Amino acid sequence: MNGTLPEDAALSAVADWLSASSSTVVLTGAGMSTESGLPDFRSTSGWWKQIDPRRVASVEALEQNYSLFAEFYRMRLERLHDCQPHRGHLILAEWERRGIVSAIVTQNVDGLHQRAGSNQVAELHGSLSRIRCHACGTGAAVERFMNGDRCGRCGGKLRPAVVLFGEMLPEDAWEHAVQAISRAELLLVIGTSLEVYPASQLPLMTRGRVVMINAEETALDHRFALTIRGKAGETLQQLERLLTGKNEEDGSEK
Ligand code: BV8
Ligand code: ZN
């Protein structure tokens, strides 16, 4: 079954697949965090509409224009400070507890899945709030980076442990993601344009069904069993209602 069904038929099909699947993995992108107040990258209000990623999110930006690089990531960290995981993050963590989801693979660097209570999380693009020295790799407290300090050990430039353009993805996170996704019976892809390589290849590496939940169309939608055009938080709440047969708002049984 391909393409999009009427909304409620698609949602109940996905709820059935979630109940029946013995290994479900969720791949998320920046669209999973916009309802927490964090901009994504490529939609109309995204970061890359305001600034060229190569000027701030690349190794040459770090090496040749450190003040702009540091300013961009300090601003990203400040934004993160006031954000909370939303209902959708909490539902995914609940589904891990109930054995519905076995792993989350995320392109996000905001740590919101872990803050919501998810434990099995592979961070393909690293983490914004983990700081290290670009020269010697020594870790440093976030405050040191926010204050503009240099590495205490070698005087090198401090940076978030995110994967910049042109950098390799962390080996263990990538391996874990490929293992989990290739074996999955069901893969939910939520809130990503699938434009960044190699994460964009993961949905094509599974033996299972792929369901895309995204606000906008992506170039790979046609490859997936089902596409739900909608918001991550709302869609996850609708699926939770179908799975538990109860209304989230008032908690009453249907
Ligand atoms: C690598 C820094 C190997 C961290 C990021 C030419 C062709 C193909 C590939 C390349 C190429 N030239 C270079 C490459 C490789 C490059 C790449 O893919 N470039 C692309 C962009 C052309 N990739 C790399 O460099 C990777 N490394 O390949 O290593 C190697 C190494 C050395 C030498 C040779 C090879 C490293 C990837 C970099 C990852 N780091 N940024 C940071 O600051 O965060 S990328 C950046 O994009 C973020 O990290 C983010 O995670 C990532 C993916 O973006 P998305 O999460 O998909 O977000 P986006 O805004 O795009 O989409 C959000 C979607 O959600 C939208 O569709 C929107 O409609 C939707 N949405 C919004 N709100 C909601 C919603 N949906 C539902 N509900 C909502 N509420
Ligand atoms: Zn150092």
Q: What is the mean pLDDT of residues 152-174?
A: 97
Ligand with minimal distance to 193 CA: 1
Residues lining ligand 2 (ion), CB within 5 A?
133, 135-136, 138, 151, 153-154, 156
- Mean pLDDT on 122-136: 98
Q: How much is the pLDDT for 7?
A: 80
Supply the pLDDT for residue 254: 43
What is the distance between the alpha carbons of residues 217 and 215, in angstroms, rounded to a whole number?
7
Any ligand 1 atom below 6 A from CB of 37: no
Is any atom of ligand 1 closer than 6 Å to the C-beta of 123?
A: no
pLDDT digits (tens, 9 = 90+) for 222-248: 999 999 999 999 999 999 999 998 555
Q: Does pLDDT of 122 surpass 90?
A: yes
Q: How far is CA 220 from CA 2, 210, 217, 241, in A?
A: 12, 11, 8, 28
pLDDT in tens, 165-174: 999 999 999 9
Q: What is the pLDDT of residue 5?
A: 63
How many angstroms separate the CA atoms of 167 and 210, rounded? 28
Domain regions of the chain by residue span: 1-38+85-125+169-254, 39-82+129-162
Does domain 39-82+129-162 fall into CATH 3.30.1600.10?
yes
Q: State the average pLDDT for the chain.
A: 94
The pTM score is: 0.95
Is 86 a known active-site residue?
no
CA distance 100 to 1: 22
What is the rounded end-to-end Cα distance, in angstroms, of the chain?
Answer: 29
Tell me what pLDDT residue 4 has.
55
Is 183 within 8 Å of 177 (Cβ atoms)?
Answer: no
CA distance 86 to 102: 20
Tokens 């959708």 belong to which residue?
A: 88
54-98: per-residue pLDDT in tens? 889 999 999 999 999 999 999 999 999 999 999 999 999 999 999
Taking the centre of ligand 1 as the mean of its atom positions, its distance from the CA of residue 197, in whole angstroms, is 7
Pocket lining: 195 vs ligand 1, CB cutoff 6 Å: yes
pLDDT at 6 over 90: no
Element (H, E) at 158: strand 158-162
The residues, any chain, with a CB within 8 Å of residue 64's CB and separated by 6 or more, are none
List the structure tokens of 250: 């008032």
Q: For 204-224, how does the pLDDT look when each residue is reduced to its tens digit (9 = 90+)?
A: 999 999 999 999 999 999 999
Residue 227's H or E segment, with its range, is strand 226-229
Of 86, 113, 125, 176, which is the active-site residue?
125
- Considering the domain 1-38+85-125+169-254, what is its CATH architecture? 3-Layer(aba) Sandwich (3.40)
- State residue 229 phi and psi, 5-degree precision: -85, 100
Atom number, ligand 1, closest to the C-alpha of residue 53: 41
Question: Which of the ligands is closest to the CA of residue 169?
Answer: 1
